[in-house]
Structure 1
């Protein structure tokens, strides 16, 4: 996946949590080996070249491709499991793997879990009594500054994902043209219960541009968003204020 993962885990029986944490990290390496588009021998690369079928791949491949198809349908094609015409489901893989790792730790008895994969965060529970998880959203136009702080207060689970051009440059494609997305946005942050979808929706919304994206994000259940344009305009969904703090 070419990114850094970090874990903040609270509560639970220490030995059990440590063992599951080690399993979660090992699983992330497996996911990278299966889905890396940079490895010619990965299952997804071989599938893209027609050397194997989905049925011959790890069952995770079929699961991810089903999620991609659902994201493509719900975004009216603005999310795509293809890049430059080739199969590339990595727009789902990172969020999906972050979410699975967090769920493993909750299943092991942890009472507070925050897993960060390249800036996309899945949170469960709380880090301490009367203290919610909080995630700072970087200001893409002011390096080192914060555009907002998202609070998970009152939520059993919450996810925050950001897509944009500030850190990685122009890397999001417009699936309708096959070229880099030409958009007025520099960053889209999506807040929802599941990082799998928050990450996908942030990518799709960025490709859409601010006006279409805001209306679409407002239509999604349990989803809030913050959009920042190159002209330093800030737009947000109606319920986002309830998630800031």
Structure 2
């Protein structure tokens, strides 16, 4: 690293930006950058990338690539990669993660030898349980750039959080009410954290294998190398039994989970303790747009 780059890194500060109704939820961005101008450019780049990816993955926008996909066609690299990842995780979780809305475990698409994808059903399906994490990952990769003075990126979209950079960043697993103390505090370094469940949002999750409502678990939090993996597994772990979830977490490299059952019991996989810490005050930051 040359002297100028070292001086920029040494003088870097954090700037934070908050938005509502981004992908239907809240968005928090934090950048450790060499100047406020650099942080503001990173903010705009992040928003532009989110808007671009939403036009590909959204299951709500009739004009998105996902919604317009019919029959057999070549898809964008982004959508093709996400479909391939969805297939892998459907297999790894035994169908606990599944994009089908009404299809159960029936195949939803098929990849052809020429790389095109054939949609096999007119029934609805959604990539919501993987797309948000994918967008978080891609935004982090798009914006992090030590060469231009962005040394750390923290993106949090509706609880799907990813940290990229050269420092550890503290994150919390929230309790089941607004004023409840955190259930757990963890340090993340080039990692992601996602939580899924019904504890605070009044959601009704269903087991895609049976169609029955999920009642045994309040929440599942997952630390993983990427937000895509954390997003998928947080959903799947709400469906699987506690024992199945703990075993799968241990079998996946860099994955740990923290589970809260309906009767209030707490379980964590062994690796969770590697990143857990006592609460610390957040680092001082320059406030950006609120």
Same fold per superposition (TM over 0.5): yes
Residue 226 of structure 1 corresponds to: 258
| Length, aligned pairs only | 233
Measured on the aligned residues, the alpha-carbon RMSD in Å equals 2.1
Could you list the per-position Cα deviations for residues 166-214 of structure 1 after superposition, in whole angstroms to 9, with x for gaps in the alignment? 233234331212343x241100100122111011111111111322212
Match of 2:24 in 1: 2
1:1-245 alignment, distance < 5 Å: 1-12=23-34, 15-47=37-69, 50=70, 53-55=72-74, 57-85=75-103, 86-107=124-145, 108-126=148-166, 132-140=168-176, 143-152=179-188, 155=189, 157-180=190-213, 182-245=214-277
Judge which range, 170-179 or 205-214, deviates more. Answer: 170-179
Using the size of structure 1 for normalisation, the TM-score is: 0.86
Query: Structure 2: which 5+ runs fail to align?
Result: 1-22, 104-123, 278-290
> Whole-Å Cα distance in 2 between the matches of residues 220 and 124 of structure 1?
20
Per-residue deviation, 1:103: 1.3
CA distance in 1, matches of 2:85, 2:25: 21
CA contact (8 A) 1:83 1:173 kept: no
SS of 2:150 mapped into structure 1: coil
Give distance in 2, aligned partners of 1:126 and 1:144.
Answer: 31
For the residues of structure 2 that align with 1:110 and 1:193, how far apart are their CA atoms?
Answer: 20
Determine the C-alpha separation between the residues in 2 that align with 1:10 and 1:53: 44
- In 2, Cα distance between the equivalents of 1:53 and 1:35? 17
Q: Is the 8 A contact 2:32 2:39 kept in 1?
A: no
Distance (whole Å) between structure 2 residues aligned to residue 133 and residue 126 of structure 1: 10
Any gaps of 5 or more consecutive residues in structure 1?
Answer: none
**What TM-score do the two structures reach when normalised by structure 2?**
0.73
Structure (1/2) with the larger helix percentage: 1
